[in-house]
Amino acid sequence: MAGHADRRFRMNSTDTSVVNDTASPTPDRSSSDGSALPPEGLSKVERAKAELCGLDLAPRLAELAAAGWESLDEATLTIRLKWLGIFFRPVTPGRFMVRLRLPNGVLLADQLELLADAVDRCGEHGSADITTRQNLQLRGLLLEDMPPLLEGMERVGLTSRQSGHDNPRNITGNPLAGLDPEELIDTRPLVAAIQARLLADDGPRNLPRKFNVAVGGAPDSFLLHNDLAFLPAPHPQDPAAPLGFTVMVGGFFSAQRNELAVPLGLWLRPDQLPDFTLALLRHYDAHGNRVQRNKSRLMYLIDGLGLAAYRDAVVAAYRELAGASAQAPLPHDGRHLVVRPPRDGLGFQPQKQAGLHWAGLHVPMGRLDAASMLELARLARAYGSGELRLTEAQNVLIVNVPADRLAALGAEPLLARFRLEPGALQAEAVSCTGSRYCSFALIPTKRTAQTVIDELERRLELPEAVRSHWTGCPNACGQPYMGQIGLMGAKARQDGQMVEAAKIFLGGRLDSDPQLAELHGKAVPLSELPDVLEGLLVERFGARRRAAP
Ligand code: SRM
Ligand code: SF4
């Protein structure tokens, strides 16, 4: 493996070259996109972004890879490369992660094969994770692997652009879009159109912070944890008109504050979503907080302006973008048609197309290796239409399987590992990356979750599935506040020693009366977690202890 973890970075704050040891160009007061540089006193991240946009590294990627990752300045390595979806991992220096964009979680067999091949080339370092945003991350890659991988991805219609850092993240939608007997609106073309609008040349390049967008298409599309969520809603004046969307804004989780999105008070036709999203992001770009990074998510801007003034400003931005003749968003009371917690989608389930089914496979903790990726691609082709879907619960669906092929698919060896009917805790467990690859993690999240859940399923019988969300630190990537049980990595004292522990959160509800889970007691050492959770599952979730064998 190249390099070592504790090398010292050098960074010249006015240096727009990205390789150490090259002469600095003359400092100039304009940024890569021609706008004025921000005033002194801004954070290191804001300065680095203003000096050079990571998107401008794309044509130079081969040159950077040839120079070697150790020659890159800190800002390029840890900030700018994320605009291309390339993540330096301090835990595995020299082995990078690539985060894709998979709009609406749609993935085709030939795309998956290309990604599997890239992971396979990484040997023992290679793996992939399905993420909490219906997305994939590939691990173990060298910087020199990136140019051919990114070119290969482009050939099969994939991109990793703007998937990390201060960018609009993968846009989520109904994982069952187009197949769902309960579908209200097919989210796929809308998600694709929003992504195309945001990634176009006139899209945002330098937001103040990350930005999550999602489009709901079914009664179980819980999406209020996003900065901007479009939820299906009838036309406010004409019940006979096609469904549109009410606009929800300001949802987010962070170490400082957690909020569900609130109604902005606007209703949009589906075709208005791309321009509206871009307009809202332009407003955020211009007015979001660039001084305090922990106060820059959208909800802080809404707080600062007040909801009504914010709404007026966004409508004005939309009219400026779409033209004065475009229909303005309509006033709306925020009522929508999302009323139930998300289905797990597992097992064989009938699609709205007669005779076709999707097969929902449970991928333990969302972790894949090259062989299982290849096998998923093969199964999707052999039994379905060659299409797969990823879910926010980190599982995978093979779609368009004819009824007479279900038995044979069910007998495939991969389905002994990626089960159609996992246990009641396993089925709805979501986990973030954890300490294996993430330097923020306080615990090995995926391994802990898997071990504890296996143990609890040995001990207990549950009347119904319980949704648990595991996260390695307060950043909350595993969405602990959405769990009926949420677990967050922490430290606790045990026998006089500081040990790995988890805080427990209870009561997350994703129905028509949504609520974030709340902290329950002190952090529990991981060694005590099975016993503590067993007690909670018996007391609050109707679990019964199995008789001793
Ligand atoms: Fe996240 C940062 C992983 C979804 C809130 N997140 C990180 C980093 C990039 C930190 C780092 O550089 O190591 C993690 C990369 C670890 C790795 O190697 O995988 C990371 N976040 C993830 C993923 C992979 C977790 C997972 O296992 O699924 C998810 C990738 C989604 C994707 O495909 O784009 C992921 N992160 C989330 C979510 C959930 C969501 O989007 O629904 C959240 C909470 C929702 C939100 O953002 O409002 C989330 N991640 C954060 C935060 C806190 C944000 C904040 O405002 O403070 C950070 C830290 C930051 O941005 O400063 C963070
Ligand atoms: Fe890393 Fe923390 Fe996010 Fe888990 S929650 S992936 S530990 S940043």
pTM (2 d.p.): 0.94
Beta strand 485-494 with 468-471 is: parallel
Catalytic residue (choose from 49, 80, 89, 99): 99
Catalytic site includes residue 410: no
Pocket of ligand 2 (CB under 6 A): 432-434, 438, 440-441, 445, 471-473, 475-478
Question: Is the pLDDT confidence value at 482 over 80?
Answer: yes
Check whether 3 has a pLDDT greater than 60: no
Determine the 3-state secondary structure of 330 from DSSP: strand
**53 part of the active site:** no
Nearest CA, atom 6, ligand 1 = 477
Provide the β-strand partners of residue 97.
Answer: 87, 139
What CA–CA distance (Å, rounded) separates 147 from 407? 42
Q: Select which of 122, 432, 438, 477 is catalytic.
A: 477
Is 477 annotated as catalytic? yes
- Is pLDDT above 60 for 71? yes
Distance 521 CA to ligand 1 centre (A): 25
Q: What percentage of the chain exceeds 90 in pLDDT? A: 91
DSSP state letters, 74-112:
HHHHHTGGGGGTEE--TTSTT-EEEE-B-GGGEEEHHHH
Find the 404 Cα to ligand 1 centroid distance in Å.
41
Residue 34 has a pLDDT of 39
Tokens in use for 72?
Answer: 């890159």
Look at residues 127, 84, 136 and name the one whose alpha carbon lies nearest to residue 105: 136
Assess contact for 65 and 144: CB atoms under 8 A. Answer: yes
Task: Judge whether residue 180 has pLDDT over 90.
Answer: yes
b/e sequence 514-547, b meaning 16+ C-beta within 10 Å: bebbeebeebbbbeebbebbbebbeeebebeeee
Task: Sheet with 468-471: list strands edge to edge.
Answer: 429-431, 468-471, 485-494, 497-506, 518-525
Is 54's pLDDT higher than 90?
yes
Least Cα distance to 177 among 335, 380, 397 occurs for: 397
| Distance between start and end Cα atoms, the chain | 47
Residue 451 CA to ligand 1 centre (angstroms): 23
Task: Decide if 472 is catalytic.
Answer: yes
Of 225, 437, 442, 471, the one to substitute when testing ligand 2's pocket (max ligand atoms within 8 A of C-beta) is 471
Distance 113 CA to ligand 1 centre (A): 26
Report the alpha-carbon distance of residue 361 to residue 419 in Å, rounded: 5
Please choose from 89, 132, 166 the residue to mutate so as to test ligand 1's pocket, defined by most ligand atoms within 8 A of CB.
Answer: 132
pLDDT digits (tens, 9 = 90+) for 206-235: 999 999 999 999 999 999 999 999 999 999
- In this prediction, residue 12 has a pLDDT band, given cuts at 50, 70 and 90, of very low
Give the pLDDT confidence score for residue 6 in this predicted structure.
33
List the structure tokens of 301: 């801007």
User: How far, in Å, from the CA of 274 to the mean position of ligand 2?
Assistant: 30
pLDDT of residue 2: 32
Asked if the model's pLDDT at residue 153 lies above 50, the reply is yes
The closest-lying atom of ligand 2 relative to the alpha carbon of residue 476 is 5
pLDDT at residue 23, as a whole number: 28
List, chain by chain if needed, residues with CB within 6 Å of any ligand 1 atom: 89, 97, 99, 129, 131-133, 135, 137, 163-164, 169-170, 210, 212, 225, 252-255, 297, 432-433, 437-440, 475-477, 479
Confidence grade of residue 21 (pLDDT, cut at 50, 70, 90): very low
For residue 352, is pLDDT > 90?
A: yes
Residue type for position 164: G
**Per-residue pLDDT tens digits for 397-447:** 999 999 999 999 999 999 999 999 999 999 999 999 999 999 999 999 999
Q: Which among 159, 192, 145 has a CA at the least distance from the CA of 85?
A: 159
Say if CB 391 and CB 175 are below 8 A apart. yes
**Can you give the pLDDT at residue 44?**
86
Cβ atoms of 493 and 448 within 8 Å: the answer is: no
3 state DSSP class of 349: strand
Residue of 475, 481, 516 to test ligand 1 pocket, by largest number of atoms within 8 Å of CB: 475
Choosing from 212, 469, 477, 488 the residue with most ligand 2 atoms within 8 A of its CB, the one to mutate for a pocket test is 477
User: What's the per-residue H, E or C state across 388-439?
Assistant: EEECCCCCEEEEEEEHHHHHHHHCCCHHHHCCCCCCCCCCCEEECCCCCCCC
How confident is the prediction for the chain on average, in pLDDT? 93
Could you tell me the CA-to-CA distances from 397 to 176, 223, 447, 466 in Å, in that order? 9, 20, 23, 20
Give the DSSP per-residue string, 451-493. Answer: HHHHHHHHHEE-SS---EEEESSTT-TT-GGGSSEEEEEEEEE
**210 annotated active-site:** yes
